Amino acid sequence: MTDQAIVSQIIHALSQYLKRDANSITEQHHLRDDLGLDSMAVIELLYKIEETFNLQIPDEDLAGLTTVGSVARYVESRVAPGEAPKSPPAKRAPGKAKAAKKKR
Amino acid sequence: MPTRAVITGLGVISPIGIGVSEFWKAALAGRSGISAIESFDPFPLDGYRSKVAGRITNFSPEQYLPAQQAERIDRYAQFALVAANEALADAELVMAREQPHRVGVIMGAGMGGMVMGEREITQLYLNQKPHRVHPNFIPVITLNSASGIVAMATGAKGPNLTISTACSSSAHALGQALHCIRTSQADVVIVVGADASITPLVFAGFCSLRALSSRYNDAPERASRPFDQGRDGFVMGEGAGALIVESLAHAKKRKARIYAELAGYAATSEAYHMVIPREDGEEVATTMKLALQHAGVAPGDVDYINAHATSTTIGDAVEAKAVRLLFKTRADKIAVNATKSLVGHTLGAAGAIGAVATSMAIHTGHIHPTANYESPDPACRLAGISRTVQERKIRTALLNAFGFGSNNAAVVLAKYRP
């Protein structure tokens, strides 16, 4: 079970970015397919999340971050257990698949 | 028949060599010019996801320019001037024999004078002393400073323009030079592309955009790997390329050596997204098609493509898809290479440096390798991409360049036939 405080902060960030009611966003929503975020928008969202949770998210971790829930679980794995958000940066998570797609 | 334009002089300054001779030797050897960034003093390097770049480490401006001039212009303008001087000398173009208003300068620059720009902004906020902002700050960061400087140094009084379309800037500069010649606004155009912005703020910006490679921080020479399955973003480079473009009649009159004909050009917008290309490749294919039409040649005449190929996951795949869309079964018969595999992505200089490589390929019949092309990515597999030198008689070549802002350029260079 994902920490609901983390989930709600991520949903809050999304609702602010998308100018959309937070109650209409769920943990199951896919960032691209359901919420319409392109790869650049995902990067902007993660930029906000890095600030909120005092994290640095390495490029190689981006590929797994596709749904609201997967972002929440990722953040949970990175903040030290028992600590509220704004904790010091956790140790880097093990590398996942490949980096986000890009660009020019 | 429209006025023909030809390329008669080349100049380059790059992470793999200063001067065309050094550059070309390293290019044919497939040598990477990418190295580790040692420091962004006083900023902590840990804060940067990417730690590699194509820096020019052996450049001392005083070696090429009068000390007072060198000190007063930004690094990108130093590069521009050094490359332009080399190209003029290579073309044996003596300005004293030219009508000054018939010689133009068209520059491509994406970022401009960021070395001084960043330094002055930082000092203003640190010291809180607006009266200590350097008097030369505005002239240096104004984006057309380099084209002005090249004109002042050479006495070229014709059209003086700067094109800034991010990574396609100097490909458009070449295209505009072609228009300039064809509409008889000039007999000669000094085309230059230059950028030098491996600076703390710009580099951090590209890191934040997640556009840069970060997987090869411990093996910098492997980081720029266009079309390879292991690519993970582009590597920033710096440098300049310069080409002397002149009307065929003018070149003939002064018995100039001709590297290639500048035969056609297309400029398009995808009208789609600031930084993401359309994934179906249609827009890139259309841009190449329009450039070939402008040159009056058929897709079947193309033997070589100097690809934009920055080593990003999506960009390289889209470009390869576009090549297949346009050239169909012929796609695998065309030699394709990526100059950025050697020098990184030099932003506004990329088109001009690519054009120098393309001109040399047409002139010599040697196509430089694509470094680090080890595991072909099925998403961008083209038989003509190679880790080794390809020898080919090139009739027609395409130079691609795409920029942020949904901006595309394609330039056609051809073997000169009298």
Q: Is B345 a catalytic residue?
A: yes
Please tell me the predicted confidence (pLDDT) of residue A80: 65
Nearest to B372 by CA among B235, B168, B246, B183: B235
Asked whether the beta carbons of B295 and B343 are under 8 A apart, the reply is no
Please tell me the predicted confidence (pLDDT) of residue A81: 58
Q: What is the distance in angstroms between the Cα of A5 and the nearest Cα belonging to chain B?
A: 26
Q: What is the distance in angstroms between the Cα of B50 and the nearest Cα belonging to chain A?
A: 9
Asked whether the predicted pLDDT for residue A85 surpasses 80, the reply is: no
B172, B250, B294, B345: the active-site residue = B345
Nearest to B293 by CA among B263, B251, B250, B257: B263
Cα–Cα dist B124/B141, whole Å:
15
Please tell me the predicted confidence (pLDDT) of residue B41: 86
Sequence-ordered list of residues with C-beta below 8 angstroms from that of B311, at least 6 positions apart, any chain: B213, B223, B224, B225, B226, B228, B231, B232, B233, B234, B235, B338, B340, B341, B345
Q: What is the distance in angstroms between the Cα of B234 and the nearest Cα belonging to chain A?
A: 9
- CA-based torsion, B148, B151, B152, B158: positive or negative: negative
Nearest to B38 by CA among B49, B28, B25, B52: B52
Residues 206-235 of B with CB under 8 A from A: 208-211, 214-215, 232-234
pTM higher than 0.90, yes or no?
yes
Please tell me the predicted confidence (pLDDT) of residue A2: 76
- In this complex, the residue of A38, A47, A102 whose CB is nearest that of residue B315 is A102
Q: What is the distance in angstroms between the Cα of A32 and the nearest Cα belonging to chain B?
A: 14
Q: Does A38 touch chain B (CB under 8 A)?
A: yes
Q: Is B167 a catalytic residue?
A: yes
Q: Does A47 touch chain B (CB under 8 A)?
A: yes
Asked whether the beta carbons of B214 and B232 are under 8 A apart, the reply is yes
| Interface contact flag, A103 B312, Cβ < 8 Å | yes
Between residues A84 and B65, the one the model is more confident about: B65
Report residue A92's pLDDT band, with 50, 70 and 90 as the boundaries: very low
Tokens at B396, concatenated: 């027609």
Cα–Cα dist B236/B106, whole Å:
23
- In this complex, the residue of A38, A40, A99 whose CB is nearest that of residue B232 is A99
Question: Can you give the pLDDT of all 418 residues of chain B as single tens digits?
Answer: 789 999 999 999 999 999 999 999 999 999 999 999 999 988 999 999 999 999 999 999 999 999 988 999 999 999 999 999 999 999 999 999 999 999 999 999 999 999 999 999 999 999 999 999 999 999 999 999 999 999 999 999 999 999 999 999 999 999 999 999 999 999 999 999 999 999 999 999 999 999 999 999 999 999 999 999 999 999 999 999 999 999 999 999 999 999 999 999 999 999 999 999 999 999 999 999 999 999 999 999 999 999 999 999 999 999 999 999 999 999 999 999 999 999 999 999 999 999 999 999 999 999 999 999 999 999 999 999 999 999 999 999 999 999 999 999 999 999 999 9
Q: Does A58 touch chain B (CB under 8 A)?
A: yes
Q: Where are the beta strands (DSSP E) in B270-333?
A: 302-306
Cα–Cα dist B302/B335, whole Å:
9
Nearest to B272 by CA among A82, A101, A40, A67: A40
Cα–Cα dist B84/B150, whole Å:
7
Tokens at B83, concatenated: 């490359």
Torsions phi, psi for B218 (to 5 deg): -95, -5
Sequence-ordered list of residues with C-beta below 8 angstroms from that of B331, at least 6 positions apart, any chain: B323, B324, B382, B384
Residue A99: list chain B partners with CB under 8 A: 210, 214-215, 232-233, 313
Asked whether the predicted pLDDT for residue A99 surpasses 80, the reply is: no
Q: Does A26 touch chain B (CB under 8 A)?
A: no
Q: Is B308 a catalytic residue?
A: yes
The strand pairing partners of B189, in sequence order, are B104, B245
The strand pairing partners of B240, in sequence order, are B13, B194
Encoded amino acid at B383, one letter: A
Please tell me the predicted confidence (pLDDT) of residue A97: 39
| Interface contact flag, A104 B277, Cβ < 8 Å | yes
Residue B338: list chain A partners with CB under 8 A: none
Asked whether the beta carbons of B22 and B186 are under 8 A apart, the reply is no
